[in-house]
Amino acid sequence: MEKALFLQDLKELNIKNKNVIDLYNEISLLAMKYAGDIGDTKGKSNAYYLSMEFLMGRSFYNNLMELGVLEETKQILADKGLDVNVFEEIEDAALGNGGLGRLAACFLDSAAGLGLPLHGYGIRYKYGLFKQAIKNGFQVELPDDWQRFGDPWSVRREDEKRQIEYADMTVTAVPYDMPVFGKRINYLRLWQAEGSAEAETISQYLYPADDTEEGKLLRLRQEYFFSAAAIGELIDRYVKSYGKKFDKFPELNSIQLNDTHPVIVIAEFIRVLTKTYRLSFSQALNIARHTFNYTNHTVLPEALECWKEEYVRKILPDVSDVLTKIAVFADREFLKLGCSKEQALGMAIFKGGNFYMANLAVFVAKNVNGVAALHTQILKTNLFATAHRFYPDKFQNKTNGITHRRWLELCNKELSALIDETVGVGWRSDISQLSGLNGFTQDTVDKFREVKRVKKQQLLNYIAEKEGVSIPANFTVFAQVKRLHEYKRQLMTVFAVLELYYSIKSGSLGNMHPSLFIFGAKSAPSYKRAKTIIKFINEVADKINSDESTNSVLKVVFVRNYNVSYAEKIVAGADVSLQVSTAGLEASGTGNMKFMMNGAVTCGTMDGANIEIVERAGLENNYIFGATVEEIAKLKLNGYKPMEYLTDFAKNAVETLIDGTFSDGGTGSFKELYDSLLASDNADNYYVLRDLDDYFKTLVKICEDYADKDGFARKQLKNVANSAYFSSDRTIKEYAKEIWNI
């Protein structure tokens, strides 16, 4: 960056009579002007990350930090009488739903920081994820027009637009490039659909409702839209430099498919090579099998996409033909390998009138990876067990990571300064140096406690401002902030909180340390049970917070419209990270890593990356409870009876769903939720009641331990000191060396 020129122009900037949005755009454009050019991709191996989501978070502070001008910018604006924090009213570009999109953003950040050529491709949604409002305790979805603030960090590339062909329409894909700053500048290219009003719906919303045929077809159009635009561009770029022989294509282009959404690109790639460049099908497939790699993010069957053949044929007939050819080729290969008919059917790409996209990805991809050690083991032994038997060399583990630049340097400058003072500044570029904190002294503990106090107060001030709930700074802060899904078991947490409440009321708990439970979560608009859980959390919060006999020791807050910027404050201020998914169902999680790096202990199950957190920071410095994967397997085998696990306090908590304690607004949804736990044939699918009592006792233990302030701070410091493994720098280095060869 031409730093001196930027700072000089910033000093000369007239800020009088300008609103925050105008200043945000002017300063951002000024930074873009002097930032430098995107790194050259020609003649070198590059990796490309195709993802339906990129949850980048607020760009202003992160980009100025990466460009090395954030502190100077703050000072120059302060000299002009402007606090840089005013730009916090500029909302995040919510182009993702949760961990999937945030992981993609962390990966791009780390690659740029390491000087590795990794570029992203996705969709420039007009509205992205909805803005969450809470009315009478219920989630209400509002359009989030993030572009109303301007989009100064993106550059429209009109001369690089492409035509995307469907059977019934042609859509123009216009690219917008967002630079990703670091040792080199990479790009995130987001495609915007233009043309007719119908065409423009393709890039209007992230995850439109798919409970109708029309909605499903729109999802399919979206996935094909950005995938076809991306691969078409990469093919054209290659042909321009190397001609129509594609033998070097895999060497120069390693394409990572982030979950199943972009997997249709495989068929599009083969379609273009065979139809436009006249390669044989077997040649094109062979090139594809050396180009594409697939990351699996879930073992939940409903999240493993499959498309009805009739839908694909209706709007993408040529792609449907290619998918069918791949499926036939795969079936023949399975038989040659000696698969039984049952094994071949399990791996089949086409069966029952549907194309199975995960099976397509596993068959074609050069590498298939899970995102935590346990998750990868489940892929090998369960979900893709047959594929692993016949293609064992495909499978790898790549435990997820987070960018410490945003999730420590940017969101917790106080802790960063303490780390600088304790181990030096080298950790900022070599995160492994955090391990030097393991030799902390009492002086370090004292200073860390002060950092925690400051960050907690900042968080509580923000909550008071945003949510209207005041909490004293002496409260222990527990946080469960993530997408709302039954397997993540926010319901179990709110039941445990009710158990605490009733125990305090009855006097059976004794002197519990004051505690705050923070929930932050959005439910998919069509996920009725998840929306019911949000309503229930808000009902419980209202009751507990208004009870003057207990609210000096227990409070609950549901933070509205939880997003990356809210997360930055919560992970820095929390004491305890609640990671309580049903064992075996959370692929990895990255929220657990963010909390760990900021000095929160983990209270969780042996699931996802929790296992690896405990391995590195020590079981004694975290709190593990609940059934293991093996124990749940036994319960399934022997017949799980949730009623057997109800203690008296747990029963009191669960029965508030039906005894009139709380109102569901006359919808009957609380009764349905109760029945799902106790009254249905397949009750309590996620083993909430199996783990509830153990969870409650663990929370009580944490409250007891927190009374020893120094002892608890030592546990927290041990987590910070051993969090380096969970930097996405480590993850990206592994991908670069073992998958992408860049």
| Ranges of each domain in the chain | 1-36+58-90, 37-57+92-400+733-740, 404-726
Report yes or no: 459 and 574 within 8 Å, Cβ to Cβ: yes
Whole-angstrom Cα distance, residue 715 to residue 321? 58
What pLDDT is recorded for position 597? 98
H/E run at residue 158? none
Give the model's pLDDT for residue 411: 94
The SS3 call for residue 359 is: helix
* Distance between CA atoms of residues 200 and 551, nearest Å: 50
Nearest to 556 by CA among 496, 508, 600: 496
Query: Angle 265-275/357-364 helices, nearest 10 degrees?
Result: 60
The stretch 541-566 carries a mean pLDDT of 96
The secondary structure of 37-101 as a DSSP string is PPPP-TTS-EEEEE-S------HHHHHHHHTT-HHHHHHHHHHTT--GGGGGGS-------SHHH
Residue 488: active-site member: yes
Confidence of residue 303 (pLDDT cuts 50, 70, 90): confident
Catalytic, out of 594, 690, 715, 718: 594
Q: Give the pLDDT band of residue 247 (cuts 50, 70, 90).
A: very high
Flag whether pLDDT at 714 surpasses 80. Answer: yes
pLDDT at 89 over 80: no
pLDDT of residue 288: 99
**117 burial via Cβ count (<10 Å: 0-12, 13-18, 19+):** buried
DSSP-based three-state secondary structure for 498: helix
pLDDT score at 520: 98
Active site residue 594: yes
| Closest among 101, 661, 585, 245 to 382, alpha carbons compared | 585
Question: What's the confidence (pLDDT) of residue 328?
Answer: 98
Phi, psi of 379 (to 5 degrees): -60, -45
Q: Say if residue 150's pLDDT is above 80.
A: yes
Catalytic residue among 221, 261, 482, 555: 482
pLDDT of 7: 95
Kindly name the residue from 447, 483, 531, 715 that is annotated as catalytic.
483
Question: Which residue out of 260, 386, 532, 590 is catalytically annotated?
Answer: 590
Name the residue among 548, 545, 564, 568 with its Cα closest to residue 464: 545
pTM: 0.94
Encoded tokens for 677 = 């736990």
* Dihedral sign from CA coordinates of 143, 144, 149, 155: negative
User: Which tens digits make up the pLDDT trace of 634-689?
Assistant: 999 999 999 999 988 889 999 999 999 999 999 999 999 999 999 877 899 999 99
Q: Does residue 297 carry a catalytic annotation?
A: yes
- CB-based contact 692:645 (threshold 8 Å): yes
The answer to whether 619 touches 595, Cβ cutoff 8 Å, is no
- Amino acid code (one letter) for 628: T
Catalytic residue among 221, 488, 535, 555: 488
- What 8-state DSSP symbol labels residue 424? -
pLDDT digits (tens, 9 = 90+) for 603-631: 999 999 999 999 999 999 999 999 999 99
Measured distance CA(549)–CA(246) in Å, rounded: 73
Identical fold for domains 37-57+92-400+733-740 and 404-726, yes or no, is yes
DSSP of 578-608: EE-PPTTT----SHHHHHHHTTPEEEE-S-T
Cα separation of 32 and 155, whole Å? Answer: 10
- What span, in angstroms and rounded, lies between the C-alpha atoms of 641 and 689? 9
Average pLDDT value for the chain: 95
CA 217 to chain centre: 25
- Beta bridge mates, 49: 120, 256
| Contact indicator for 37, 180 with CB cutoff of 8 Å | no
| 114-140: pLDDT as tens digits | 999 999 999 999 998 899 999 999 999
Between 1.10.10.60, 3.40.50.2000, 3.40.50.920, 3.40.50.300, what CATH number should domain 404-726 receive?
3.40.50.2000
At residue 618, the pLDDT reads 97
Residue 298 C-beta-side C-alpha neighbours within 13 Å: 17
CATH no., domain 37-57+92-400+733-740: 3.40.50.2000
Active-site residue, 482 included? yes
The pLDDT-based confidence of 199 (bands split at 50, 70, 90) is: very high
| Local structure of residue 411 (DSSP, 8 states) | T
586/121 Cα distance (integer angstroms): 25
Own/partner long-range contacts of 273-278 (Cβ < 8 Å, ≥24 apart):
273/235, 273/246, 274/322, 275/318, 277/239, 277/244, 277/246
